[in-house]
């Protein structure tokens, strides 16, 4: 990569970037309102992780599959472009999939409204080492998340799990309650649009 990360990553995320690079945690949760650039940050991290871990593939999830084409897929394209790596990846939209040409590593996109697709993922080699739950609060709850993790996070030595969401206003929302629990293998990082340089 010939792009300086400090040019594309907001300063508020630099510490988290180092923790991801060092694998200080398995689970990274980014929460914040619109304009906090949490999704942009994750879309910059995933391609870098693929390049540093040639046995890994990535899976990006939305609760509803038909939201992929206008959300996480173009967001991942943006992240790859910002890193100056567009020519090194192949992009297809039926199904939505991004492949690192040099190794064949894949970024796969699924909606969990058809859970059979998630359970029947076939990879050419390696394992799913990176998972991103976008709009985490739209999933049904921790039981659904754990079931999906069991299908996805297996067969490898280490994983990076990302969740991103706008915190619901209700304190009783499952995702707000879950983030109150202390998990030594999870980093919860909050941002707002005020943290982002103009």
Catalytic residue among 30, 45, 135, 178: 135
pLDDT of residue 8: 73
In percent, how much of the chain has pLDDT > 90?
Answer: 72
pLDDT of residue 26: 97
Active site residue 135: yes
DSSP per-residue string spanning the chain: --S-HHHHS-GGGHHHHHHHHTT--SEEEEEE-TTS-HHHHHHHHHHHHHHH-TTEEEEEEESSGGGGGGTHHHHHHHHHHHTT-GGGEEEEETTEEEEETTT--EEEEEETTSHHHHHT---SSSEEEEEEEETGGGS--HHHHHHHHHHHS-SSS--EEEEEEPPPS-TTSHHHHHTTS--TTEEEEEE-GGGS--
Confirm whether pTM is higher than 0.85.
yes
In whole numbers, what is the pLDDT of the chain averaged over residues?
A: 91
User: 1-5, 89-93, 180-184: which range is least confident on average?
Assistant: 1-5
């Amino acid at each position: 990569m010939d792009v300086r990360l400090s040019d594309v990553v907001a300063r508020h995320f630099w510490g988290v970037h180092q923790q991801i690079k060092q694998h200080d945690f398995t689970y990274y949760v980014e929460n914040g309102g619109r304009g906090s650039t949490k999704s942009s940050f994750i879309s910059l991290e995933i391609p870098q992780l693929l390049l540093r871990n040639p046995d890994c593939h990535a899976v990006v999830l939305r609760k509803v599959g038909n939201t992929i084409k206008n959300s996480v897929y173009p967001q991942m394209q943006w992240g790859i472009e910002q890193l100056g790596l567009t020519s090194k990846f192949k992009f297809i939209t039926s199904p939505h999939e991004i492949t690192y040409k040099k190794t064949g590593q894949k970024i796969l996109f699924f909606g969990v409204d058809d859970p059979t697709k998630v359970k029947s993922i076939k990879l050419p080699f390696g394992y799913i080492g990176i998972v991103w739950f976008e709009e985490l609060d739209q999933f049904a709850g921790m039981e659904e998340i754990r079931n999906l993790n069991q299908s996805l996070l297996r067969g490898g030595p280490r994983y990076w799990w990302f969740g991103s969401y706008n915190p619901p206003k209700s304190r009783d929302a499952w995702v707000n309650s879950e983030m109150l629990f202390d998990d030594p293998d999870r980093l919860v990082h909050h941002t707002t649009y005020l943290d982002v340089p103009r």
